[in-house]
Amino acid sequence: MAAEGIQEVKEKLALALRILVNEGVIENSGHPSFRLPGTEQVCILGHIHEHGGVLGKATAEDFVVVDLDGKVVEGKHEPVGEIGLHTEIYRARRDVAAIIHSHPPTVIALSIAGIRVLPVWLNWTNSSEAVPMFSSSRQIRSKADGQELAGVLGMRDAVVLKGHGAVTVGTSIEQACVVTLTLEKTAKLQFMAAQFGQPQPLSAQDLATYANKGRDSEESRELFWNLYGGRLDKGLSYHYLR
């Protein structure tokens, strides 16, 4: 991949990270990545904390290129510690182009209570099953841990790590980012509904009817991406909006 293309990927990853921080699903830890097309290499956030870096101010220079063994190919930082989380999902899923590891507060709260996120919001998914949960809260650093997590994720686009966070995947950086944020909103709606009664998942028939119009449609992805980017540009933070 040409240097110009890699730079563009880094800039989009940096924007996605700033959006995720602004929306409150990443604070002082969390990381996006992208598989460089036609290669076995991944562009991922570097370990910038040790150099005084702040995720909410991430730039393209904070990202590095690694191979699927986690070895740095290009960049000035070491990759984040949970490199195995990313590389092993990419090995297992040829369809995945982008991965985000985040710490969405409502998703985590439900997981602490042993509750899986349900398809209660039409914009969340076209699947009628609950989001799978990885039973351990440990960091996913090693190849073995990454393989175990990839097995729980399967062919889905999200998995919750109990008491830890979430991992979401997509065919683009924009899609993975939107999956992350709609997952947290779905968890929040489920929590709100539980204050009034037992949350009821949407029917498989309703979800199937909306399959080509919801979060995974190109039009919806663009609308969500522009919404979140617009909030960032205007300085409207998660804490202000909630």
Mean pLDDT (10-residue bins), the chain, 242 residues: 89 97 94 97 93 91 97 95 98 98 98 97 85 97 97 97 98 95 96 97 86 72 89 77 50
> Which helix (H) or strand (E) is 176 found in, with range?
helix 173-194
Distance, CA of 230 to CA of 210 (rounded, Å): 26
Bridge-based pairing of strands 98-102 and 165-170 is: antiparallel
d(CA 82, CA 68) in angstroms, rounded, equals: 13
| Nearest-angstrom CA–CA distance, 220 and 241 | 21
Which residues are registered as beta bridge partners of 31? Answer: 101
The class level of CATH for 3-241 reads: alpha beta
State the pLDDT at residue 3: 80
Would you call 59 exposed, middle or buried from its count of C-beta atoms within 10 A (0-12, 13-18, 19+)? middle
Nearest to 69 by CA among 41, 45, 38, 93: 41
What is the model's pLDDT at position 184?
A: 96
Query: Which pLDDT does position 22 carry in this prediction?
Result: 95
For residue 30, which of 143, 184, 221 has the smallest C-alpha distance? 184
The pLDDT value given to residue 169: 97
Residue 222 pLDDT: 87
